[in-house]
């Protein structure tokens, strides 16, 4: 039997790197789409780069996507590429819409043209719930996005549903709540905290400036969440699933645990800075993952406390190695 072949857009990102690792373990051939630009950072996939095929493609250019699908003939496509930083979406709303919303349409349409049998995964986001109408949020909760990123993700989500229903495609969306790891970008608050703790512990910094410490999120481990993506595409029927831990923690609690990992008290180092508040804040996001648990047999394996510790230790190791 031929090996399954998966195409991942956004393979150089946090989720793309964990998904590529996971699929290689499952015996897949893995193809990763990268943009033709001089700024692609291969850091997260360097350890597996010789085991994956990288191919140029651009979510802004449907013709490039058609060529890519014709050349590599994947059985599964995971669309993880996006302009995914919420703060940036306020300063670059049109670009965010082009990539994060219309990019999904271009990819779905390319699949429809080349081979509608390809199974498709769309990375939807808890940011679509935004100003939440009910807690916890589940698959049937109405969307009320509070950022251009959230709005673009709602479009991407509904166009996936539309192609599934219009063309009978096996297209599924994972509504993923915040998922973190040592591979998270430094612009995200969790990594900003773990990296800041490591810098302070090693005497490189004296303070850490953050925004709203009372914002609460449902934080899980990215390595657990990519398993849910794969499980969705192994089902007989496509569908949409909330992927979350079902527990919520404040930014303040994350700080408390992270600083404690280095034997420090966060209150001595964290400075609240108004510059880091969002124009429209999302207050409480917490997901109900019961459908994913019942239908996919999925549950998170890494706890919140283990995640925080893992991130702080990874940043301490990295910074120590840079000092040597």
**CB distance 79 to 32 below 8 Å:** no
- Residue 64, pLDDT > 80, answer yes
Mean pLDDT in residue range 57-86: 93
Q: Which of 131, 180, 128, 155 is nearest to 279 (CA)?
A: 131
Residue 103: predicted pLDDT? 97
pLDDT in tens, 107-155: 999 999 999 999 999 999 999 999 888 999 999 999 999 999 999 999 9
Q: How many CB atoms lie within 10 A of CB 90?
A: 15
Residue 76: predicted pLDDT? 98
SS3 content of the chain, % helix, strand, coil (to 5): 45, 15, 35
pLDDT in tens, 214-270: 988 999 999 999 999 999 999 999 999 999 999 999 999 999 999 999 999 999 999
CA distance 235 to 224: 18
Q: How many CB atoms lie within 10 A of CB 26?
A: 13
**CB distance 245 to 277 below 8 Å:** no
CA distance 279 to 277: 7
pLDDT in tens, 199-213: 999 999 999 999 999
pLDDT in tens, 293-323: 999 999 999 999 999 999 999 999 999 998 7
Residue 281: predicted pLDDT? 60
- Residue 66, pLDDT > 60, answer yes
For residue 115, give Cα distances in angstroms to 76, 105, 150.
11, 15, 29
Q: How many helices and strands (H and E) does the chain possess?
A: 11, 13
- Residue 38, pLDDT > 60, answer no
Residue 282: predicted pLDDT? 61
**How sure is the predictor about 186, in pLDDT bands with cuts at 50, 70 and 90?**
very high
- Residue 90, pLDDT > 90, answer no
Q: How many CB atoms lie within 10 A of CB 94?
A: 8
Residue 35: predicted pLDDT? 86
Average pLDDT in the chain = 94
- Residue 279, pLDDT > 70, answer no
Residue 262: predicted pLDDT? 97
Residue 71: predicted pLDDT? 98
Residue 201: predicted pLDDT? 97
Which residue numbers are catalytic? 125, 127, 149
């Amino acid at each position: 039997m031929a090996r399954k072949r998966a195409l991942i857009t956004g393979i150089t990102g946090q989720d793309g790197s964990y998904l590529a690792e996971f699929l290689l373990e499952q015996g897949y051939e893995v193809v990763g789409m990268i943009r033709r630009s001089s700024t692609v950072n291969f850091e997260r996939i360097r350890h597996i780069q010789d085991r994956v095929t990288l191919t140029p493609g651009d979510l802004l250019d449907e013709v490039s996507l058609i060529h890519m699908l014709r050349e590599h003939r994947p059985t599964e496509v995971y669309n993880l590429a996006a302009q995914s930083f919420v703060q940036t979406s306020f300063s670059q709303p049109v670009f965010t819409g082009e990539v994060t919303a219309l990019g999904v349409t271009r990819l779905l349409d390319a699949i429809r043209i080349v081979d509608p049998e390809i199974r498709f995964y769309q990375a939807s986001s808890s940011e679509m719930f935004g100003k939440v109408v009910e807690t916890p949020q589940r698959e049937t909760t109405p969307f009320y996005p509070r950022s251009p990123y959230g709005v673009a993700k709602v479009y991407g989500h509904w166009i996936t549903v539309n192609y599934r229903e219009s063309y009978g495609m096996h297209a599924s969306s994972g509504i993923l709540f915040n998922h973190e790891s040592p591979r998270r970008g430094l612009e995200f608050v969790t990594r900003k905290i773990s990296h800041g703790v490591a810098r302070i512990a090693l005497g490189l910094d004296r303070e850490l400036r953050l925004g709203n410490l009372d914002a609460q999120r449902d934080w899980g481990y990215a390595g657990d969440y990519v398993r849910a993506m794969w499980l969705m595409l192994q089902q007989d029927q496509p569908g949409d699933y909330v992927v979350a831990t079902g527990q919520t923690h404040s930014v303040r609690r994350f700080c408390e645990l992270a600083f404690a990992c280095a034997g420090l008290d966060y209150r001595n180092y964290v400075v609240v800075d108004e510059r880091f508040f969002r124009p429209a804040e999302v207050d409480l996001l917490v997901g109900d993952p019961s459908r994913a648990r019942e239908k996919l047999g999925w549950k998170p394996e890494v706890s919140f406390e283990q995640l925080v510790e893992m991130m702080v230790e990874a940043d301490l190791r990295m910074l120590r190695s840079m000092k040597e």
